[in-house]
Amino acid sequence: MAEHAYNPLDSLVFLTNRVGRLLSSDIRKRAGNEVEGLYSTHMGVLVDLWMQDGLRQQDLVSSVIKDKGTIARALENLEKEGIVTRETDEADRRNKRIYLTPKGRNLKTVMLPHALKSMDEALEGMPPEEVAICKKVLQRMYKRLTQKLMHPVPANTTSP
Amino acid sequence: MAEHAYNPLDSLVFLTNRVGRLLSSDIRKRAGNEVEGLYSTHMGVLVDLWMQDGLRQQDLVSSVIKDKGTIARALENLEKEGIVTRETDEADRRNKRIYLTPKGRNLKTVMLPHALKSMDEALEGMPPEEVAICKKVLQRMYKRLTQKLMHPVPANTTSP
DNA sequence: AGGAAGTAGTTGCGTTTGCAACGAAGAACG
DNA sequence: CGTTCTTCGTTGCAAACGCAACTACTTCCT
């Protein structure tokens, strides 16, 4: 009985996915032609670089949660557009370091107002303390899920 | 000054997007070959239909937040796989109604345990009342953003 | 030191995606 | 009624995506 009791609307899986996409698409609409040609993968890469410049390409793969090839080609395009540069890491020549150009850094100042406006409207009238708790929960989930991605299920650490 | 003060990690835009994608990809890994060939768009469609069967194709377009064409082709594939059926709505022959087949309904019972397990691990040790508040905030955002999508900025309702 | 194993990034291929142009069905106006 | 306007779904096309095979470089092991 009650086999259909589960409602996606009560699920953080559903909610985070939909709200995330709705916010992104709303911001994208606001930005309009300022972000012409910048796909979601590009935006994901940029956000990471805004937090920390000079990341390795591999860092972006795991952070943005897209395929190696997808990131490689996204970076290729971003480089063509003059938004990032790629430099071989001389300390370990397998790695490439990704750096923002001035144009790439400037995109942050372009996007930020739109993002803030979008958030403001979506959160209008909600108690700030509840919003803060929501963020805290999501931050913890983010941290945990990311760690799991890095160290997926230690199989048997008991063997000699 | 402090022009770089803004940190994406403090932003619900970033958090919802990343957590949503991390959860989805984690669930997908758990489900493994049970969902072979089911892309994220397919899953999005299914989740909506699990909530309410017989939706119009257009409802799915706005709810899943993908292009008309993308949804059309996703449904084409799902129909080929015997997961949904499409029927012209005789009341308004422009619309098509989408119905789950038994196989489509059964997929819910296949996916649900994986989703619950994934959530459980991601939320482990967090105070339930904080998780509840997080959900509440996200639900309100979802509702508001969805409404905005349906009624985008009433331009000038004052004219005769 | 030298070969095996592992890691980072690139490339080819088939599928999916978003955009725009299109066709069919209904609604709104005279 | 008939014309125009709007809405819903389909299709062509170029770009992006995920997967898997491949190359370049490093580390580990004997």
pLDDT by residue, tens only, chain A of 160 residues = 545 557 877 799 999 999 999 999 999 989 888 888 889 999 999 999 999 999 999 999 999 999 999 999 999 999 999 999 999 999 999 999 999 999 999 999 999 999 999 999 999 999 999 999 999 999 999 999 988 776 655 433 333 3
Q: How far: A58 CA to C9 C1' (Å)?
A: 9
Per-residue tokens: A70: 């997808």
Q: Is the CB of B96 under 7 A from strand D?
A: yes
Q: How far: A75 CA to D12 C1' (Å)?
A: 28
Q: Is the CB of B151 under 7 A from strand C?
A: no
Angle at B100 between CA B95 and CA B106, to 5 degrees: 165
Cβ neighbors of B109 (< 8 A, separation 6 or more) are A3
B15/A16 Cα distance (integer angstroms): 8
Q: Which of A78, A42, A142 is nearest to B126 (CA)?
A: A142
Q: Which residues in chain A are contacts of B65 at CB distance < 8 A?
A: 18, 21-22, 25
Return the CATH number of the domain spanning residue range B8-150. 1.10.10.10
Quick: pLDDT tens for B16-70.
999 999 999 999 888 887 888 888 999 999 999 999 999 999 999 999 999 999 9
Q: Which residues in chain A are contacts of B3 at CB distance < 8 A?
A: 109
Quick: pLDDT tens for B76-134.
999 999 999 999 999 999 999 999 999 999 999 999 999 999 999 999 999 999 999 99
A128: closest chain B residue by CA: B137
Q: Which of A33, A19, A62 is nearest to B143 (CA)?
A: A19
CB contact under 8 A, B134 and A137: yes
Strand C positions within 7 A of protein Cβ atoms: 6-13, 16-21, 23-27
pLDDT above 80: residue B152: no
The number of beta carbons lying within 10 Å of the beta carbon of residue B20 is 22
Under 8 Å CB pairs connecting chains A and B tally to: 170
B8/B111 Cα distance (integer angstroms): 31
Per-residue tokens: A19: 């709200």
Position A32 scores a pLDDT of 83
Q: Is the CB of B62 under 7 A from strand C?
A: no
B28: closest chain A residue by CA: A13
Sheet holding B84-88, edge to edge: B55-56, B96-100, B84-88
CB contact under 8 A, B65 and A22: yes
The residue to which tokens 């890491």 are assigned: A89
Architecture of domain A8-116+123-150: Orthogonal Bundle (1.10)
Q: What is the DSSP string of B44-104?
A: HHHHHHHHSTTEEHHHHHHHHT--HHHHHHHHHHHHHTTSEEEEE-TTSTT-EEEEE-HHH
Instruction: Report yes or no: B65 and A25 within 8 Å, Cβ to Cβ.
Output: yes
pLDDT above 90: residue B4: no
CB contact under 8 A, B140 and A124: no
Position B151 scores a pLDDT of 62
Q: Is the CB of A66 under 7 A from strand C?
A: no
The domain locations on chain A are 8-116+123-150
Q: Which of A14, A133, A4 is nearest to B118 (CA)?
A: A14
